[in-house]
Amino acid sequence: MERSIEARVSHEVENWLRWITRWHPATHRGRSRICRQCLGSPMIASAGLAVDVPHVVQHALSMRMKIVIEASVDEYTELNLPLLAFELNLHERRQSAQAYRPTEGLDPEFRGLDLDPQPAADAPYLFTFSELADQQLADQQPADQLLAPGSTANPAELPPLTPEEKAALTAEIALADEFASQVGRRVCAQLTQERPRLLAAVAEYVEPQVQALLADLESTLDSPLWPRNP
């Protein structure tokens, strides 16, 4: 591997440290769905960001670590797992034939978040990005229609995998999973090392803004327009 996983984690931590200097709390209502990337994430726990840190701040780090893991697993697959590499390339070619994918090409901080802001009662949407993204997913072919290597022709014309090829592919997928778990453990170990500077940045750039928001809320609740003890 050209760059170690630890070096990649440090590099993405530095990107996150640059991003966080520009962070401000959102003024609109936050997301209501639970985020599968961040909730209970061992990476967020290793980074020391599991408690009292806004989700958006956690999410920006989660998605950067996801990039590190995916890039490492992709490299490993390309080098060591030819059947799986072939299937993934095929899948990618099918996907790139799709016209418009609103969930792709976003900065890491925005991946996996709600695509659309909360709707306002008096301003209905003509369409939402979520609907477009769902449509693109629905248009894709089922994942179990796997095809054999050997042809660069139209993917739809490739013959289906033989039972032997399917078994070999399943074995490669298990190896890729195992490698991904190893990378995940190394990312967590490196994030534990990075914890002091992550926490220092949260203390400097996040905490004061959260405290200011809370103070604002308190004074609103104390105002005569919003009597606390009616």
Q: Catalog residues that contact Zn ion under the rule CB under 5 A.
A: 35, 37-38, 59
Give the span between the Cα atoms of 111 and 128, in whole angstroms: 16
Give the span between the Cα atoms of 44 and 188, in whole angstroms: 8
Judged by beta carbon, residue 46 or residue 77, the one nearer Zn ion is 46
Smallest distance, Zn ion to C-beta of residue 114, A? 10
CB atoms within 10 A of CB 26: 11
Smallest distance, Zn ion to C-beta of residue 38, A? 3
Judged by beta carbon, residue 104 or residue 139, the one nearer Zn ion is 104
**H or E element: which one contains 82?**
helix 82-96
Smallest distance, Zn ion to C-beta of residue 72, A? 21
Tokens 């905490």 identify what position? 207
Judged by beta carbon, residue 38 or residue 47, the one nearer Zn ion is 38
Smallest distance, Zn ion to C-beta of residue 56, A? 8
10 Å CB burial of residue 60 (0-12, 13-18, 19+) is buried
Smallest distance, Zn ion to C-beta of residue 74, A? 22
Give the span between the Cα atoms of 159 and 161, in whole angstroms: 7
Judged by beta carbon, residue 12 or residue 172, the one nearer Zn ion is 12
CB atoms within 10 A of CB 47: 27
Q: Per residue in 79-114, is it b (16+ CB within 10 Å) or e — as a string?
A: eebebbbbbeebbeeeeeeeeeebbeeeebbebbbe
Judged by beta carbon, residue 63 or residue 183, the one nearer Zn ion is 63
Q: Contact at 8 Å (CB) between 189 and 42? A: no
Smallest distance, Zn ion to C-beta of residue 191, A? 15
Judged by beta carbon, residue 66 or residue 90, the one nearer Zn ion is 66
